[in-house]
Structure 1
């Protein structure tokens, strides 16, 4: 066994990777560029743990929809061309994945990963209690505005409970104002919501007490050093750090770090926004986790706040807040759930979700014997983090995976 491992990245994927590796018997050091763990893409995400509802972005008909979205004032997609070939390579691969048969295979694989992630999160309860990060078994309701899309979704085998618009409003009163705008919804029990940032903080605290954890090095990883088919160290803003093995789990930064070692990772930063608003005593906040299918807006009650997450902006690594996008999302939220929270005290956040063209993460080995990957989770980092960490630890130990990993490994 390679005894000492450096995990690069202190978000939810890096932290879970560090935990599973420490539990597997490795000495683990975490390398994180920010002063606090969980402060990047893990900080203000939608908080939904969608183990049974996975919908890869690439699907038949999506390119046409994307063109329509670009011309809609409140559309979920924005695109800004970059002088970066990686954007166009990613788009070309994404278009190649926009086929129904490819989507079905990816969805089936992500469902297997989702079930493993659910089981793995359950096992982690012994170390990190659910109340530490506002975990709640909320169930998930996907609402549809289009009658045709609703009927198509309802016709799928195993879709879930089919609710009329009236059912949606009665079982989730936060949707009462939106009832006239809805065709219906699909409900699935067993889906959860939680605070991803709080989870990161709680797991980091538990890691700090683990006998195999060697601590956190705060510094920006700038280059992977290699020689003779092995990684020999990581050049950081504070010096070179070395170990026996290395795990790349640094979100979109993994793309640049991979380039320094000649590894082309098919990642692109899909920028998303979230709004958080305090819930007052008389507010009608949702108890069920709600997804507005056409608008691609997620609503979740997390502790004493309403979290709303939305949008896919392909604008490179730009984390600035576009006032038009924020205003658009705020209007949609007020229209759909006007009484859910105190919207006068909105907190706005934007994050970069490192996505692959297929929407499937990349886990496991690289051409370097001692470099491993856990990257490309897109908007499902919180959902899949525990499952991919378990798969990573098993792969590094040479164990057979619980299911075939086709579509989840690096293609070289």
Structure 2
């Protein structure tokens, strides 16, 4: 079958890869000149398979007033007149329960563990892929005794879900990651997960593009989809520049653009952008930078070593579709990085700043699978976990299209 994949970020490219492997003819369509030009360009670099708990959790609503009062808060909300924004916020508030959070975490773990296995298999199948992949392990740092104890209390529960983790003291954290030596007195401990990885999402996407082009997959770049329309017979067609894309099936993997693209068809998906920021530091020969994947739990900032670079990412701004960066947020991220790893990211070290829109659902679960239209499929709403969940999501989608959906996953992430 001829399948058009709308979106050339990591989700769209992974979808194209698995569809092509299944024997389909694929064309990837994107409005940008290059692949991975938006959210996949500068994300956090963590393949965080065991840390997929949603932003919507039982303690979030009580923290919001304090967060909203700070310029450097992990989450910031700027109200607009958009009904779309307020409806998303209302659904988010209803999802902030322990029961819903636990269900979402279990669902996401099932997909993330499948993604981990597929990513590792892909590394074996595609030896030419070079994207700074490392089995780095992950260390989640805690600054507060109560927060650390809460994380320790969850270890047995996490193990029951398949996450092998261990609690470390502050000294043990430094022994494992010497780059933390300067801040040992400011942390109380951490949770270490050996199974986590790090990699460069943009380089991964470019590598997939090269493989797909070599295998005959077509790319229609710099091509904007004007509309999805119902053709005679009830099938969906994609219109662009006055013409129609030739395809038997259409896959929407368009990130934050998906909701507006689908709305005229009567398909309302709760996908809304959460603006995030990242910094990429070039590390000099004398830099003392982490080799582990590190997350600062209190600050909600992540650190990933990508070869001779350090990626620092964080923040979640709920303020519409604008990609315009807020200088105060970039400055706050710089300050966090300099405070935690002063010997790696001193003021004189160059850093490239980036802003992207994460396509998030209120519950935190992506939407993968069929729609009411027989030839229209979705792979959207991955939030901050797009890179982590890309392989599993693409394989799940391919199974759906081939009439062989994974029975353990398909009911969890479909629109229905």
Band the TM-score falls in, shorter-chain normalisation: over 0.9
Aligned residue number for residue 46 of structure 1: 44
**Per-residue deviation at 1:260?**
2.5
**Is 1:366–1:372's contact at 8 Å kept on the other side of the alignment?**
yes
Residues in 2 aligned to 1:67 and 1:383: alpha-carbon distance in whole angstroms: 30
Give the direction of change, closer, same or farther, for the CA distance of 1:232–1:361 in structure 2 (3 Å limit).
closer
Give the alignment's Cα RMSD to 1 decimal.
Answer: 1.5
Residues in 2 aligned to 1:218 and 1:127: alpha-carbon distance in whole angstroms: 30
Aligned residue number for residue 34 of structure 1: 32
Query: Could you tell me which of 164, 168, 186 is aligned with 1:163?
Result: 168
Aligned residue number for residue 339 of structure 1: 343
For residues 28-48 of structure 1, the C-alpha deviation after alignment (integer angstroms, 9 at most, x for no partner) is 001011000011100000010
Give the direction of change, closer, same or farther, for the CA distance of 1:285–1:73 in structure 2 (3 Å limit).
same
Residues in 2 aligned to 1:108 and 1:303: alpha-carbon distance in whole angstroms: 32
TM-score, normalising length: structure 2: 0.95
TM-score, normalising length: structure 1: 0.96
Query: Could you tell me which of 264, 269, 279 is aligned with 1:265?
Result: 269
Gaps of 5+ in 2: none
**Per-residue deviation at 1:343?**
4.4
Residues in 1 aligned to 2:332 and 2:369: alpha-carbon distance in whole angstroms: 40
Aligned residue number for residue 353 of structure 1: 358
Residues in 1 aligned to 2:128 and 2:212: alpha-carbon distance in whole angstroms: 16
Matches within 5 A, 1:275-286: 275-286=279-290
**Is 2:71–2:328's contact at 8 Å kept on the other side of the alignment?**
no
Q: Specify the SS of the correspondent of 1:86.
A: helix
Aligned residue number for residue 288 of structure 1: 292
Residues in 2 aligned to 1:334 and 1:195: alpha-carbon distance in whole angstroms: 22
Residues in 1 aligned to 2:374 and 2:129: alpha-carbon distance in whole angstroms: 39
Q: Specify the SS of the correspondent of 1:168.
A: helix
Gaps of 5+ in 1: none
**Is 1:277–1:342's contact at 8 Å kept on the other side of the alignment?**
no
**Is 1:12–1:196's contact at 8 Å kept on the other side of the alignment?**
yes
**Is 1:269–1:317's contact at 8 Å kept on the other side of the alignment?**
yes
**Per-residue deviation at 1:72?**
2.2
**Is 2:236–2:373's contact at 8 Å kept on the other side of the alignment?**
no
Comparing 164-173 with 307-316, greater Cα deviation is found at 164-173
Residues in 2 aligned to 1:178 and 1:238: alpha-carbon distance in whole angstroms: 59
Residues in 2 aligned to 1:188 and 1:51: alpha-carbon distance in whole angstroms: 10
Q: Specify the SS of the correspondent of 1:221.
A: coil
Query: Could you tell me which of 386, 393, 412 is aligned with 1:381?
Result: 386
Residues in 2 aligned to 1:214 and 1:139: alpha-carbon distance in whole angstroms: 36
Q: Specify the SS of the correspondent of 2:295.
A: strand
Q: Specify the SS of the correspondent of 2:40.
A: coil
